[in-house]
Amino acid sequence: MSLKKCLLSVVFLVAGGLAQAHSYEAGAIHIDHPWSRAMPPTAPAAAAYFVLQNTGAEADRLLGASTPVAGKAELHEHAHVDGLMKMHHVPVVDIGPGEQVDFVPGGYHVMLFELSRQMQAGERFPLTLRFEKAGEVTVEVAVQADAPQSAPAQHGMMHHAH
Ligand SMILES: [Cu+2]
């Protein structure tokens, strides 16, 4: 492939990713592309994902989340325990100054329980995130059949110790 063709295909990939993207600001916190994977109607729970960036000089932390579509929303983290991937509830998620924290399949996520119903691909639902310093912000979660191409899934799975 010629260099020019190669560059062109990169541009198209980036443009394709941006077309679906939506993002929000809460104080110094930037929230990129909140999304949720469409689940079968009988699934007992769902999960929401996004990327948090702290553009400020002070540390902040995500304290919790809530949504009208679920009776309960918890911050969860996946971790390897005895060779198995297990998820557990975490009370807060720290975001240091200048840091990025990825909420991705296999890493941090907002777990939604007691759903009124499972959302379908193409739908959106509101999710309110509560930060210690940035306060509350309500974002729209895009329900998708598949993970967004731009999702840093591998990165999130490999480096979630921070
Ligand atoms: Cu979970």
pLDDT in tens, 106-127: 999 999 999 999 999 999 999 9
Overall residue count recorded for the chain in this entry: 162
Measured in Å, residue 86 CA sits from the centre of ligand 1 at: 9
* Cα 26 to ligand 1 centroid, rounded to whole Å: 24
Say if residue 70 is exposed, middle or buried (CB neighbours under 10 Å; 0-12, 13-18, 19+).
buried
pLDDT grade, residue 4 (50/70/90)? low
Residue 115: which domain range? Answer: 3-158
Q: Is the pLDDT of residue 153 over 60?
A: no
- How many angstroms separate the alpha carbon of residue 4 from the centre of ligand 1? 44
Mean per-residue pLDDT for 24-44?
Answer: 96
The enclosing H or E element of 6 equals helix 3-20
How many folded domains does the chain comprise? 1
Q: What is the pLDDT of residues 133-146, one digit of tens each?
A: 999 999 999 999 98
8 A C-beta contact, residue 95 and residue 101: yes
**pLDDT at site 132:** 98
Ligand 1 centroid – CA 113 distance (Å): 9
| Cα 13 to ligand 1 centre (Å) | 30
Question: How many angstroms separate the alpha carbon of residue 106 from the centre of ligand 1?
Answer: 9
Q: How far is the CA of 87 from the centre of ligand 1 (A)?
A: 5
The count of C-alpha atoms lying within 13 angstroms of the C-alpha of 145, restricted to the half-sphere facing its C-beta, is: 1
| Predicted local distance difference test score (pLDDT) of residue 22 | 92
CATH number at residue 112: 2.60.40.1890
Confidence at residue 157, expressed as pLDDT on a 0 to 100 scale: 41
> Ligand 1: distance of its center to the CA of 22 in Å?
23
How remote is the CA of residue 6 from the centroid of ligand 1, in Å? 39
